[in-house]
Amino acid sequence: MVCPCRLNPSPHTHAPLCSLILRLTSIGAWHPLFPSPASPASPAFPNGSAPISDPPGPRVLQVINMLVDIVEWIDKMHPFWRRRGGRDHIFLFPHDEGACWAPKVLLNATWLTHWGRMDLVHESKTSFEADNYTKDYVGWRQPEGFAKLISGHPCYDPVKDLVIPIWRPPQHYWRSPLLSAPSKPRDIFLFFRGDVGKQRTILYSRGVRQKIYKLAKDNDWADKYRVLIGDGSDVPGDYSDLLSRSLFCLVATGDGWSARTEDAVLHGCIPVIIIDGVHIKFETVFNVDEFTIRIPEGNASRILEILQAIPEAKVRSMQAYLGRVWHRYRYANLPGLASELRRYMESNVADPLSREAAELSARKEVRLPRPFKGDPAVDDAFATIMQWLYSRIPFTR
């Protein structure tokens, strides 16, 4: 298992996920996948690896070279890579644009990524120049550049790869019915709080966040339709509480993958996906059309019209389906995490305001999805990934 991370100051992005998954490898969570004593799970082989990219040169250049070096080292020191051409190796790509810049030497391996972009010919859409994999970098140490090492493959292959959820800590969704808080009235019709591109280049979000934000501001959607779109200065309040009160939640790309899918699902809010040619998290595991709305980027300006036309029966059906899968979008099966989640659940159940809201809800209507009552450590995101990987073993032989 190789996890190519980069340093990131945010506690809620991909660096903690790398740490979490590598921690799980250290306690043997991968062992069911490696029954052979000659497997990568044996003491003679490292369970996990986490190269950290850093200057000089673009970040993508550094990690590309590290990954090539890792494969060369494995091939030189062990029989595992050549034995099956890398098909039984797993690489985690948590970066903004996932495995778009993965070196071609990894093509046969399984990629776990947050970015399910599928077009064969693609260009970087990041607004961070250090992450731009389209712009080659030629230097005296590498006069041939790096483009030739990565060209000719999609960012993600739905046949062999998996788009996985990002890490969200329990406090991020502490007011959600997923943590046994009462299901609140969904009095916010459409919600998005985050970067809406005020200081970004035109590449950011493919222009979708900017377009919808402008429509919402110019047409007073907040007062007219209970639509809250903007950044923290536009939409104040507790983020988890706002999400748990929202019926629809916008999911639009940022510099690559968007965390809004998880934010929506973890709060029982129906994701409205406006990202063309991209699979969302676990799209090849679940029938995501049962709990999401897809709108082509070209129809982004019609979002309000499209959502208002959805029948109430369809909305409730999607909410009910969310209640069957939302626990699989959180990471919860480490002992400390599970204990923290249980504390939040107990606190939400014991809160007098929660009990009052639950009684009021029971008298008026059944609000969906219903509050989660199960064991938070069962069938979480990591377990789902493991189950999918186990199902793929015959295809790696």
**Two tokens, residue 244:** 């748990």
Residues making up the chain, counted from first to last: 397
pLDDT at residue 241, as a whole number: 97
Q: Are the CB atoms for 155 and 113 separated by under 8 Å?
A: yes
Q: How many C-beta atoms lie closer than 10 Å to residue 24's C-beta? A: 20
Q: Once rounded to an integer, what is the mean pLDDT over residues 42-58?
A: 52
280-294 pLDDT tens trace: 999 999 999 999 999
Average confidence score pLDDT of the chain: 88
Bridge pairing between strands 278-279 and 116-117: antiparallel
The number of beta carbons lying within 10 Å of the beta carbon of residue 346 is 12
Distance set, CA 122 to CA 134, 151, 228, 252, 320 (Å)? 9, 9, 33, 18, 37
**Checking phi first, is residue 220 left (phi over 0); if not, alpha (psi -120 to 50) or beta?**
left
State the CB neighbour count (10 A cutoff) for residue 310: 14
Position 13 pLDDT exceeds 50: no
- Specify the DSSP class assigned to residue 53: E
Please state which of the ranges 35-49, 70-84, 208-222, 361-375 shows the lowest mean pLDDT.
35-49
Interval 99-142: pLDDT, tens: 999 999 999 999 999 999 999 999 999 988 889 999 999 888 88
Tens digits of residue pLDDT in 179-228? 999 999 999 999 999 999 999 988 899 999 999 999 999 999 999 999 99
Radius of gyration of the chain (CA): 22
Run of H or E residues at 363: helix 352-364
Q: Does the structure show a pLDDT above 80 at 25?
A: no
Residue 10 has pLDDT above 70, yes or no: no
Please name which of 219, 292, 294, 237 lies closest in space to residue 262, comparing C-alpha atoms. Answer: 292
Give the residues across from 229 on adjacent strands. 192
Measured over the CA atoms of residue 383, residue 389, residue 393 and residue 397, the dihedral's sign is: negative
d(CA 142, CA 151): 17
Neighbours of 367 (CB within 10 A): 20
Question: Helices 381-392 and 14-26, interaxial angle, to 10°?
Answer: 60
pLDDT of res. 136: 93
Contact 181, 354 (CB under 8 A): yes
